[in-house]
Structure 1
Amino acid sequence: MILKLLAIVVVLVLVYIVFFKKDREGVIKKNNEKKENIEDIMVECPSCGTYVSKKEGILSNGNYFCSAECLNNKAK
C-alpha cells in the first residue's frame, strides 16, 4: 500500500517537472530578452537631427552620427 502511494507521488512529481518547470524557465528567458532590447540609448545626430541608437551610430569626436554621409557633411 505504501509503495503504491510512493509510486504515485513520484509519478506526479515527474509530471510536474516535465510539464510545468520548463514553462517557467521559458518565461524568465523571454522577460530577460525584452529587457535587453529596451536598454539601448538614443542620441541625436548633430548634422541632420535624426535620432540614432548608440550601437548603430558612428562615433567621431565625441558625437554620434546616423550615417557616413552626415559624418562627411559635418566634417566639411
Structure 2
Amino acid sequence: MILKTLAIAVVLFIVYIVFFKKNREKNIVKKKDIKYEDEMVECPTCQTYISTKESVLSNGKYYCSKDCLKNK
C-alpha cells in the first residue's frame, strides 16, 4: 500500500514538472525581456543623473540643463 502511494506521488510530481514547470520558466523569461524606454544618464559637467527624455543632447553627451552645456 505504501509503495503504491509513493509511486502515485512520484508520477504526479513528474507530470507537474513536465507540464507546469516549463510554463513558469517561460513567463519569467518574458518578464526579463521587458525593455524600458527611458534611461538614466550622468551629466558630464555636474555628475547628476537625469532622464534621457529630460536632458539636453549635444555631441553624443547628455546634459541636465543648458547651463551645464555652456559650462562644459
TM-score range, shorter chain: 0.5 to 0.7
| TM-score of the pair, normalised by structure 2 | 0.53
Q: Report how many aligned residue pairs link the two structures.
A: 50
Q: Where does structure 1 differ by over 3 angstroms across 4 or more consecutive aligned residues? A: 39-46
Query: Are positions 1:32 and 2:32 aligned together?
Result: yes
| TM-score of the pair, normalised by structure 1 | 0.50
List runs of 5+ in structure 1 lacking aligned partners: 47-58, 64-76
Q: CA deviation at 1:31?
A: 0.6
**In structure 2, distance between residues paired with 1:6 and 1:29:** 33
List runs of 5+ in structure 2 lacking aligned partners: 40-51, 63-72
Q: Deviations over 1:20-44 (max 9, x none)?
A: 111111101101101xx11543457
Over 3 Å counting, the alpha-carbon distance change for 1:61 and 1:23 in structure 2 is closer
Over 3 Å counting, the alpha-carbon distance change for 1:13 and 1:61 in structure 2 is closer
* Greater helix share, structure number: 1
Q: Which residue of 1 aligns with 2:19?
A: 19
